[in-house]
Amino acid sequence: MEADQISQTESLFEAPPLAEQERMIEALLFASAEPLSLRQIEDRLPHGSDVSEAMTLLRKRYTGRGVAVVKVGDAWAFRTAPDLGFLMQKERVETRKLSRAAIETLAIIAYHQPVSRAEIEEIRGVSVSRGTVDLLMELDWIKLGRRRMTPGRPVTFVVTQMFLDHFGLETPRDLPGIRELRDSGLLDNRPPPGMMPGIVGDNADQGEDWDAVVDDGDQEEMFE
């Protein structure tokens, strides 16, 4: 009986036209401080709205404009068009650089996730301080993943949607490979002394060494 009453109630209201749904999504994305998933948008729109179709129309409408509707992980947000990013350079706030330990730890998590603290230490060859992990979590660039089904059930770490958004990535699979980093001049071809080589995950070229990813201090530009 209750289900019938709900169905009758919902049927009294028609979904607004697609153009109006598009305007509603536009307003939500504009006002939100964080990217919104389709589920979050659907929960706020009137019953019966076709969020996917309205989102498609909205993306088309902003094609070629100064701002674009972009996908960040599983969510959507307004972002400045990539070719106009130079206009914002003078307004960027200069922040302190991450330490080399933080950069190496973040890079390992990004390329090897999900990865445990022990696995990070094995790759780096040195222990990972709690302060380094806490800093990356405070920045909301990493978060706890699932526990390993191994003795002790250690926790793992993965990168967050905030990390993807900061570096303009849709998924971790969009991270540049080692050859791309070297070609762009961000990495030196010479491995730093005393580091153990290790193959980087799916994004690395076969036979390329992990130690290049954590090269000298010039690589800090990747994570500023």
User: Is 166 within 8 Å of 201 (Cβ atoms)?
Assistant: no
3-state class (DSSP) for residue 46: coil
- pLDDT at residue number 85: 81
Residue 212 forms part of a structural domain:
yes
Residue 6 forms part of a structural domain:
no
CA 127 to chain centre: 26
* 115, 219: one domain: yes
- pLDDT at residue number 126: 86
pLDDT at 97 over 90: no
* 139, 181: one domain: yes
**β-bridge partners, 75:** 37, 72
Number of domains in the chain: 2
Q: Residue 108 sits in which domain range?
A: 100-223
* 157, 199: one domain: yes
* 190, 106: one domain: yes
* 126, 72: one domain: no
* 126, 164: one domain: yes
Q: Give me the sign of the Cα torsion angle 122, 180, 141, 223.
A: positive
**How much of the chain, in percent, has pLDDT values that exceed 90?**
28
User: Is 175 within 8 Å of 169 (Cβ atoms)?
Assistant: yes
pLDDT at 205 over 60: no
User: CB under 8 Å to 40, separation ≥6 — which residues?
Assistant: 75
Least confident range from 38-52, 95-109, 117-131: namely 95-109
User: CB under 8 Å to 16, separation ≥6 — which residues?
Assistant: 24, 46, 49
What's the average model confidence in pLDDT over 104-130?
A: 87
Residue 205 forms part of a structural domain:
yes
Query: What pTM, to 2 d.p., does this model score?
Result: 0.47
* Planar angle of CA 115, 119, 123, nearest 5 degrees: 115
Question: Of 49, 81, 113, which one is at a domain's C-terminal end?
Answer: 81
List the CATH number of the domain containing 171: 1.10.10.10
* Higher pLDDT among residues 165 and 188, named by residue: 165
Please give the structure tokens belonging to residue 49.
Answer: 């709205």
* 134, 184: one domain: yes
> How far, in Å, CA of 216 to CA of 224, rounded?
15
Residue 187 forms part of a structural domain:
yes
What's the average model confidence in pLDDT over 80-97?
A: 73
pLDDT at 212 over 50: no
pLDDT at 9 over 70: no
> How would residue 221 be classed by pLDDT, with cut points 50, 70 and 90?
very low
> How would residue 173 be classed by pLDDT, with cut points 50, 70 and 90?
confident
* 107, 202: one domain: yes
- pLDDT at residue number 104: 86
